[in-house]
Amino acid sequence: MDTKIINLQLLDQSEVDTAYAEAAGIIREGGLVAFPTETVYGLGANALDEQAAAKIYAAKGRPSDNPLIAHISREQQLEEIAAYIPETARILMKHYWPGPLTMIFRKKDIVPRGTTGGLDTVAVRMPDHPVARRLIDAAGVPIAAPSANLSGRPSPTTAERTAEDMEGKIEMILDGGPCRIGIESTIVDMTEDIPVILRPGFITYEMLRELLGEVRKDRALDAKEWRYFRPKAPGQKYRHYAPKAPMTLVEGGIEAVTAKICDLTDASIREGKKVGVICTDETEACYHQGIVKSMGSRVRLESVAHNLYEILREFDETGVEVIYSEAFPSDELGFAVMNRLVKAAGHKEIQV
């Protein structure tokens, strides 16, 4: 299949109108369009069309029991697909929609099980990216859209990275420039009496607790307990976000961490290996060997979230054979950043 890549930033007004009309037509006819959101690029299909959803799983190579998030642009669309919307959800909608927050509801029959991985719940998000919103409006249906990467790979945060994984497999990629946030939405299960965070994201546990009083973290998110619990978000059970080279996270006081990574790097280089080091602006000068990349500043974790996936993909291109990465404190946005890093490392962590 020929994938049409359309850079919206280079078009004039009437060409932009034509591009959205064409993209919306593809979605309505059951095809696939990748598009930018404020979190990462999404791989979109009509969420109400089981066969279209099946194409998403095929293009990504994703296990079909891993449900998809339905993206909407108006609140009315939530009423059409969710069977029950609790008051707590209305509070969250008021504060964080449109934005990087996904909520899980009991689904209505109109949503096929092919979209929800066989579950009778549906995950819903209203993105705030103008391209995503206009595409959903133009299509006139909720758009199911997982991250537009091959299953297991780091999520794409630019159209170029999306094309790397999806060119030849889907009808169209809309290029709207790099994503602002860089990691996926926070997922909260609203079907429980006390809302449960299934995936941490830019909207933090602390922010949700401040608004709702009570919020829980799914036990599968606890690094020490993840092995023993059947995860509620099926995505949690798969190896994820991973660079090609094996990666080890080093956790502890920052001086001990940099010293340990220097030792590990030294040892790997002596074994003849090409080494990658993932660090931060504050620690970059501590490393003198291997390919060293800073994700951003420790005091501005948004910068780390923004660059994380891009750096994992850059390391794939350098052909490093082993990666050592600094860890972060797991509160506030650090919870989401660490969730991705721990998975990228396949839970390989060293405490110092």
What's the distance, Cα to Cα, between the start and end of the chain in Å? 50
Taking the least distance from each CB to ligand AMP, the nearer of 197 and 277 is 197
Number of DSSP helices (H) and strands (E) in the chain, helices first: 10, 16
At closest approach, how far in Å is the CB of 122 from ligand AMP? 6
Closest to Mg ion by CB, 37 or 147: 147
**Widest pairwise Cα distance in the chain:** 61
Give the interface segment with Mg ion, choosing from 127-135, 146-154, 175-183, 292-300 (CB under 5 A): 146-154
Residue 91 in 3-state DSSP? helix
Q: At its nearest, how many Å lie between Mg ion and the CB of residue 62?
A: 8
| Closest chain position to Mg ion (CB) | 147
Cβ-contact 251, 352 below 8 angstroms: yes
Q: Say how far apart CA 116 and CA 245 lie, in whole Å.
A: 32
Nearer to ligand AMP, 221 or 261 (CB): 221
Nearer residue to Mg ion within complex by CB, 231 or 252: 231
Residue ranges in contact with ligand AMP by CB under 6 A = 66-69, 104, 116, 119, 121-123, 146-147, 184, 187, 198, 232-235
We find the least distance from the C-beta atom of residue 182 to Mg ion, in angstroms, to be: 13
Handedness of CA 314, 317, 318, 324 (dihedral sign): positive
8 A C-beta contact, residue 71 and residue 144: yes
Distance CA 140, CA 6 (A): 21
Between residues 100 and 276, which has the closer beta carbon with respect to ligand AMP? 100
CB of 233 or CB of 257, closer to ligand AMP = 233
Q: Please say which residue, 122 or 275, places its beta carbon nearer to ligand AMP.
A: 122
CB of 305 to ligand AMP, least distance (A): 14
Q: Is the dihedral of CA 197, 179, 4, 140 positive or negative?
A: positive
304 contacts which partner out of ligand AMP, Mg ion, none, CB within 5 to 8 A by kind? none
Tell me the residue number closest to ligand AMP, measured at CB.
235
For residue 68, what are its two tokens? Answer: 């998809």
Does residue 194 contact residue 215 with C-beta atoms inside 8 Å? yes
- Residue 179 beta carbon to Mg ion: minimum distance, rounded to whole angstroms: 13
Q: Could you identify the residue written with the tokens 């993105």?
A: 127
3-state helix, strand, coil in the chain (%, to 5): 40, 20, 45
| Helical (H) or strand (E) element with 241 | none
Instruction: Using the rule CB under 5 A, give the single segment among 59-67, 145-153, 203-211, 283-291 that binds Mg ion.
Output: 145-153
| SS3 assignment, position 276 | strand
Q: Residues 176, 129: contact at Cβ < 8 Å?
A: yes
For the CB of residue 149, give the shortest distance to Mg ion in the complex, in Å: 6
104 binds, among ligand AMP, Mg ion, none (CB under 5 to 8 A by kind): ligand AMP
44 binds, among Mg ion, ligand AMP, none (CB under 5 to 8 A by kind): none
Q: How far is the CB of 12 from Mg ion (least distance, A)?
A: 34
Q: Candidates 46, 73, 115, 147: give the one binding Mg ion (CB under 5 A).
A: 147
* Residues near Mg ion (CB under 5 A): 147
